[in-house]
Structure 1
Amino acid sequence: MPENMNLKGFYAGKPALFQIFLLLLFMLAGGFISSVLGMGVLFLTHGVKADIYQYPGIMRTLQFLSSIGMFLFPAIAVAWTCSNRPSWYLSIKKTPNVRIMLLILISMYLFSPTITLTGVLNKQMELPSILAPIENWMRTQEDAAEHMTELLLSEGGILTLLSNLIVIAVTAAITEEFLFRGTIQRIIGKWSPNHHIIIWSAAFIFSAFHMQFFGFIPRLLLGAYFGYLLYWSKCIWIPVFAHFVNNATAVIGMSNSRWKNLELVSGDISDAHLLSFASMAFVTLISFIILNKYIRKELIKGN
């Protein structure tokens, strides 16, 4: 490669399929490096026979490194190599309006009951008996993810809470939005001019990537909402903030020994309360839709 060759925008003219392939290569490379670094930290601090599930602090470190390696690095690398304007590609230059952020905060809490209700319905999913092995595998993946979350949130104390907020709320919100909304939506946009197809396709990939199939629908809805926020605002920090609110609320709620047993926090709505909860979800959903009509208008006006 010539010394003066600049990789900035080098693959800008390539088709979407090539850019997806390039993104996957960056994700594999970033995932491999972050895994090596994470396991290196574990072995250096606790020995080569250490079980990572015994050390929540190391699990947080590994999750942090994984988020940077598999999400943030590939997003920035693709933006740099596939665009002459990486900051425009990732929509990171605009500064969000404080008033809009407050409205987004309110909208996330209005959306929360609907997300919880769809989660309750999603958990009732049963596949045909012929697909029982697949369903068992899906439930195993779900149990493993829940077990890891419980381990991360099991330790008490303000320092642990702050660490979880940094890793699960701040880091996840930034890195996942940069990848799924900032990069993947941009690449899908080379295939289709229809923004609804672009947003819902990226949301589908976002939800599927988490490998938690009994929470697929609520995560799909959240991903689509984040996608519309980016489409309306052209500012990645808007969906990053909404994503942060969602994750931070869950971390704070599940970290409190009293709050985590509440049905609204745990998402395990009992049959006795299901009808009343569904009624509340319907009312808050209507409020969410009305509020977002105003948010959409304000965001588009600000472009």
Structure 2
Amino acid sequence: MNSLKHNNPQILHKNPWTSIFYLVLLFLAWNLFSQLIGTGIAVLVTGVDFMESQQLLEPPFSPKSKIFMYVAQGISHFLGFTVFALFFIKAMDKMSWKTFFNKKNIGVQPSILIVLTTFSFMIFNSIIIEWNMNIEFPEFMKGFGEWARGMEDRMMELTELLSSYDNFGEMLIALVIIGVFPAIGEELVFRGLLQNKLQTATRNAHLAIWISAIIFGAFHMQFFGVVPRILLGALFGYIYLYSGNIWYPILAHFVNNGLAVIVMYLGPKYIDDFDAAEVDTAVPVYVSIIGLFACLIFFRYFMNLIKGAVEE
């Protein structure tokens, strides 16, 4: 059972490589336009001019920096991913949205298992995160290493800015921008569209999953976090492959992102000397291994439930 057999609208395309070409080309152009719109609206909301807006994105950050980032990121991501995916499905692939938003197979038990699968995987992935963050480059790649580390440090500062919440309402806004929007939009693009098209083009579901996952990891432009993101992308891809329902990887994606938002909100309230930089610190190796085995067990139960629901 996989998405190619029971939930792959791309199967109708005679030349999926052409469809992939148009998908990538249009996605890049659409995202550039979406970022311009998001930045423009953020400029209007914060009341700054365009040149001053660039200063808001550099430390030291001001209260306006957070507002600017919330507005710019929220709007650009919603337009660049969710709206783009819906447009491409309808206008380019000429398919019904119901094909991608199939609710028939969604159940409480499978959803709980997806939450447990994702949480267990996050425990395992913490050791990969720490390893990736501490990679040392050889001397001949020193220039690239310094550039990548600078990008990582800047993204970390922006993440800490967006993850510091003054009140519950601000946390809910962050939960939508960091949790809901990426979960829906990125899964529609990387799994619902790209993975399906690659699966049809290559006739190899596993190859399609890993290519999509690599692109998913590279898209975030953070080398010192690329490997754990690739593994996450693969997890979402296999969830989609064996369920054929885009809502399950969306749920898994939301759990991964949303849990981080909630921890960043509750941590300073209930943990003395809470350090946001240590949230992704690796657990002991044996705990990481237990997390991996738990993930595989929960996912196996999920597959069995989905298979039973399809056969009924």
Relative to the length of structure 2, the TM-score reads: 0.84
2:44 pairs with 1:44:
yes
C-alpha separation in 1, matches of 2:301 and 2:293: 13
Is the 1:16–1:191 Cα contact (8 Å) retained in structure 2?
yes
SS of the equivalent of 1:151 reads helix
> Between the two proteins, what is the percent identity of the paired residues?
30
Q: How does 1:168-187 map to 2 (within 5 A)?
A: 168-187=178-197
SS of the equivalent of 1:190 reads helix
Q: Match for 2:115 among 105, 109, 116? A: 105
- Report deviation, 1:132: 1.1
Q: Match for 2:281 among 268, 285, 289? A: 268
Gaps of 5+ in 1: 1-8
Question: Structure 1 residues 145, 298: CA separation in 2 closer, same or farther (over 3 Å shift)?
Answer: same
Question: Structure 1 residues 43, 61: CA separation in 2 closer, same or farther (over 3 Å shift)?
Answer: closer
C-alpha separation in 1, matches of 2:227 and 2:76: 24
C-alpha separation in 2, matches of 1:217 and 1:140: 18
Q: Match for 2:290 among 283, 294, 299? A: 283
Q: Match for 2:128 among 118, 127, 139? A: 118
Aligned to 1:55: 65
Worse-matched range after superposition: 26-35 or 230-239: 26-35
2:27 pairs with 1:27:
yes
Question: Structure 1 residues 32, 263: CA separation in 2 closer, same or farther (over 3 Å shift)?
Answer: closer
Question: Structure 1 residues 174, 265: CA separation in 2 closer, same or farther (over 3 Å shift)?
Answer: farther
Is the 2:121–2:291 Cα contact (8 Å) retained in structure 1?
yes
Is the 2:209–2:238 Cα contact (8 Å) retained in structure 1?
yes
SS of the equivalent of 2:52 reads coil
- Report deviation, 1:82: 4.5
Question: Structure 1 residues 60, 160: CA separation in 2 closer, same or farther (over 3 Å shift)?
Answer: same
Worse-matched range after superposition: 257-266 or 214-223: 257-266
- Report deviation, 1:177: 0.5
Gaps of 5+ in 2: 1-8, 58-63
C-alpha separation in 1, matches of 2:149 and 2:68: 25
Relative to the length of structure 1, the TM-score reads: 0.86
Aligned residues: 289
Is the 2:113–2:301 Cα contact (8 Å) retained in structure 1?
no
- Over the aligned positions, Cα root-mean-square deviation in angstroms equals 2.5
Larger RCO of the pair (alpha carbons < 8 Å, separation 6+): 2
Is the 2:35–2:76 Cα contact (8 Å) retained in structure 1?
yes
